Structure 1
């Protein structure tokens, strides 16, 4: 299936709890993988406005992730610190590697990147900067809920 990104809806929504929504308010995604009907992995074309985060810093128990910068400058923040990513640079995050990561647009221009991840069921996402906060995916991998480490709802 050929995909014209101009035909793919944009979305700014997030399922983060209210107190974290402003951090990702400048993230505009187009779900190319969903548009194409892909079932095993997702591909998002993401525009990140200045000052915005791609996500809260996190790592996945079961899902792999890869990002590829197309335009602009992004700061990748991991447990090792901050690194500048420019067009043509990619970064991968293997499942189960407890290295929290996210992108921040610290520049004055919109940055664009591809975000690719698999849809392995039973994934758990850990947020190392937020005490007692994580997500658990449904067994089918299609939905997530935010919970405390003890399993109670956030």
Structure 2
């Protein structure tokens, strides 16, 4: 039988997967990817935990995918574009496709726990503005990370 329900006790018993962002060694978190456990293919639904002083990810923005975060416990700095905002339990952040670059940093003295939900499109492009990098992700292909200053933009005409 396919799994549709995960109980609170089951969720609490999940160890989670420890992750360090490939572009930021200070971006370390533990993921409990609940959507994967029930076979969700088009959205990711995660409970993440970030220890004090660590970040959720490298500052980035997506051009095609949307994400959102709901803070369950703790306090953090949410960097959104060029602004920092203090966020805490009960706060919600929505990141629109093509919107501002973003990340979280745990500024408290306890674990920051959040629900993170995001699309899983077959294609996405993400910028890492502080690193001047762009990531291309396409289904069935390896990811491509390029230096934004070295991207050629040929005028090749219109595709019919």
Q: Scaled by the length of structure 2, what TM-score is found?
A: 0.82
Structure 1 residues 115 and 143: CA distance shift in structure 2, 3 A:
farther
Aligned counterpart, 1:12: 18
* 1:9 shift after superposition: 4.5
Report how many aligned residue pairs link the two structures.
145
State how far apart, in whole Å, the 1-side matches of 2:35 and 2:147 are.
30
Aligned counterpart, 1:138: 138
State how far apart, in whole Å, the 2-side matches of 1:57 and 1:7 are.
31
State how far apart, in whole Å, the 2-side matches of 1:61 and 1:81 are.
20
Between stretches 48-57 and 1-10, larger displacement belongs to 1-10
2:21, 2:58 within 8 Å by CA — same for their partners in 1? Answer: no
User: 1:75-86 counterparts in 2 under 5 A?
Assistant: 75-86=77-88
Structure 1 residues 143 and 71: CA distance shift in structure 2, 3 A:
farther
Q: Which structure features the higher share of strand residues?
A: 2
The runs of 5 or more residues in structure 1 that have no matched partner are: none
State how far apart, in whole Å, the 2-side matches of 1:117 and 1:96 are.
14
The correspondence for 1:67, drawn from 69, 75, 79, is: 69
Aligned counterpart, 2:158: none
User: 1:93-108 counterparts in 2 under 5 A?
Assistant: 93-97=95-99, 99-108=100-109
Q: Which runs of 4+ in 1 moved over 6 A?
A: none
State how far apart, in whole Å, the 1-side matches of 2:15 and 2:64 are.
28
In our comparison, the structure showing a higher alpha carbon Rg is 2
- Tell me how large the CA RMSD over aligned residues is: 2.1
Structure 1 residues 143 and 30: CA distance shift in structure 2, 3 A:
farther
State how far apart, in whole Å, the 2-side matches of 1:143 and 1:85 are.
35
The runs of 5 or more residues in structure 2 that have no matched partner are: 152-160
Q: Scaled by the length of structure 1, what TM-score is found?
A: 0.84
* 1:14 shift after superposition: 3.8
* 1:30 shift after superposition: 0.9
